[in-house]
Amino acid sequence: MGLHDRNKRGFRRLLRSFFYASQGFKYVLKHEQNMQIHLLVAIVTIFAAFLLRFPVGHWVVLLLVIASMFALEIMNTAIERTVDLVTEEYHPLAKRAKDIAAAAVFIYCLFAVAIGCILFIPAILKLF
């Protein structure tokens, strides 16, 4: 949001903040390969959950995991861009910051796969 908007309140400011957020989401989708992969996996996963007729509780968990993955990948991108803004030269601490942010996404991804297995394996086994 622009600096001139920080002290204003109201519906127009709220709409503008949604616009800026959508611009950020579009940027990440367009420029970040990992986000494109997350989106593709999310679409396939949602389609599979629909076909397997997941109960409501499973849907809640599944959608929370997907939304959290998107949010974490977006934060990772924000950290990477901020580090790039601060220094264009190689710096060990800049590398470390980027690596740590990427590690957070990686760890969450591992747990998301584990949760997916917990949700999907029993539903798939019921088919047989």
What is the three-state SS of the chain? Answer: CCHHHCCCCCHHHHHHHHHHHHHHHHHHHHHCHHHHHHHHHHHHHHHHHHHCCCCHHHHHHHHHHHHHHHHHHHHHHHHHHHHHHHCCCCCHHHHHHHHHHHHHHHHHHHHHHHHHHHHHHHHHHCCC
pLDDT tens-place string over residues 81-127: 999 999 888 899 999 999 999 999 999 999 999 999 999 999 999 99
Query: What percent of the chain lies above the pLDDT cut of 90?
Result: 86
Active-site residue among 32, 73, 80, 88?
73
Predicted TM-score of the model (pTM): 0.86
Give the model's pLDDT for residue 89: 87
Give the model's pLDDT for residue 67: 98
Q: Is 80 annotated as catalytic?
A: no
Q: What average pLDDT does the segment 2-21 reach?
A: 80
pLDDT at residue 6 is higher than 70: no
